[in-house]
Structure 1
Amino acid sequence: MNIRQSLKAAIVAVLLGGTSHAMADVIQVNASGLPAATTLMTAGAYQGSFNLNGLLGLPSAYTINSLTFSFTFLDDATDPFTTEVGNKTYVGTSTTIAGDPRVATTTTSYQVAASKTGEKESITLTFDNVNFFSGQTAKGTDQVSGPVPTYTNPVAAGIVKAKNGSTTVCTPQELSQGSSCKDVPHQTVEATATTTTTTDYTGGFTIGNSVLASLLQDKVLNFSFDLTGDLFLTGATLDVNFTETVTPPVGNVPEPASLALFGIALAGIASVRRKPRA
């Protein structure tokens, strides 16, 4: 490196010597104004905020690079169920004779599909009426039970003919053969077999995303959320990514006179190098 290049490098080093380079950092803020984690929140609207004023670890002068929030909710797993029963579907009819004294019972069978659905909790989150985010409890695996039969009370329906010891009524051919068919009291019932599918929404979920730093007003970020169902709020935090604003000390800035001397010296060396030899 020649003398001219050395002087140029020295001047650049002097100029850059007064600049400080700050690194980005992250600090976490807890939300305020919300129920405690042990309090079950019921359906309704809730408001809260993230406040950066007086936050320990945050410098007096800084630039916000990004804001990332996280809200965590947990279901209490004791939700009511809504039951819906479908229409009956005819399966068939049969008659049997049993008991002592013997009674003929005609059973008309039906089947029904029913559903039980648990409450699905959901959250709609808003920051200063600008950004909207949402989350909800997850659907579990459907549970199927049944079929479970139920019977109506018997209704008297006259008499039928049956042979002694037989469990079925006499056929037309048997009736035509004579007196071996005797009178037996007759009743009717309905049997309905119900199969139930149970669907539940439970567990926990987290709503997390980035939000515009411009939404901060006087170092406060306000939010609100609407809750359907009932949930525990187990966490609400805001990660603030920031860079400290550093002003270089006055003593590190090179004086104008010193810079002028560097310039004069550089010009002199340049003129010497251009002077022809005798």
Structure 2
Amino acid sequence: MKKLITTALLTALCTISAAALATPIAMTGAFASSDLANNNYSAVFSGKSFLPADYTVNSMSYSFSFRDDASDTFTTSAPVLTNSTMTGWMPHTSISYAQYQTNYETVQRTGQQESAALSIGGVALGTGSTTWSESSTTSSSPLMATYEGWSCYYACYHFYTKSSTQTTTITRDSTGAFTISGIISNGSIIDELLRSDQLTLNLKVAGDLVLTNSQLLLDYTKVVTAAEVPEPSSILLALAGLAGLGAVRRRSKRAAV
């Protein structure tokens, strides 16, 4: 009997503790597509149906992750001459001389930066964007020979200018992944958002992005009503009963001895 009463009390105490714990629930809702590009998007999230009859929302957490879709459009600038070098006349063959000219130019190749701005119920939640990175490549054009004429000293020599262009292409592109996340703990904002159970989430996207994860969680505590909580006097009576049972059992053992 003692074991049964003890088990019942422990169960009741565990139930009271569990009711006081905060519990997260995932709200339902999603954007129509995970491929997002240069537009405003909205999705309606709801979740009151998962809540108990009496509850208190402690906070609302959100996490939305994006990545670049790796299909950027690049703009390329016209070549800009940055330097030019030339050697003096050098023997080229037994009857000609040549000078070598190298032109150095730079081309800028720039992609686009993708970004997203998140808001819910008119409340701005945060922004994020892909990260810029830079790389460069260098290429040279074939030598171009230009005949400059001829001149005679002890012998007659032909003169040529041989030129080439060395082009450095600097590529700047914004790539990678990012997450917009946070917690709303302002009770008045949460109550207003939950009033109609229609949480409209807005997303403004620039560039081409892929939505890889979306999560909206309500962290709530179930409100324990008076009917659900055992009165202190009932618990004390039960504990006193257990103590009495223990005393009776001890006396019985002594009498047996």
Counterpart residue number, 1:120: 113
Deviations 1:189-240 (A, max 9, x none): 5422122333332222111012341433412221211111111111111121
1:92 aligned onto 2:86: yes
Whether contact under 8 Å (1:79, 1:118) holds in the other structure is yes
CA distance in 2, matches of 1:195, 1:225: 39
Change (3 A) 1:197 1:253: same
Whether contact under 8 Å (2:97, 2:157) holds in the other structure is no
Whether contact under 8 Å (2:74, 2:110) holds in the other structure is yes
1:111 aligned onto 2:109: no
Name the count of aligned residue pairs.
210
Change (3 A) 1:23 1:110: same
Alignment root-mean-square deviation, CA: 3.1
Change (3 A) 1:92 1:246: same
1:150 aligned onto 2:133: no
Q: Percent identity?
A: 27
Counterpart residue number, 2:252: none
Q: Which amino acid aligns with 2:175?
A: T
The Cα of 1:99 is off from its aligned counterpart by: 6.5
TM-score, normalising length from structure 1?
0.64
Deviations 1:117-144 (A, max 9, x none): 332211111222221411111234x333
How do 1:201-220 residues align onto structure 2 when only pairs under 5 Å count? 201-211=174-184, 212-213=189-190, 214-220=192-198
Match 1:196 to one of 169, 189, 193: 169
- Which sections of structure 1, spanning at least 5 residues, go unmatched? 1-19, 162-174, 255-278
TM-score, normalising length from structure 2?
0.69
For the residue of structure 2 that corresponds to 1:88, the secondary structure is strand
Counterpart residue number, 1:48: 43
Counterpart residue number, 2:236: none
The Cα of 1:74 is off from its aligned counterpart by: 1.7
Deviations 1:81-112 (A, max 9, x none): 33334333122344445479x65444332212
Match 2:205 to one of 227, 236, 239: 227
Change (3 A) 1:191 1:25: same
| Larger Rg computed on CA atoms | 1
Q: Which amino acid aligns with 1:89?
A: N
Change (3 A) 1:252 1:160: same
1:246 aligned onto 2:224: yes
Which is richer in helix?
2
CA distance in 2, matches of 1:238, 1:128: 13
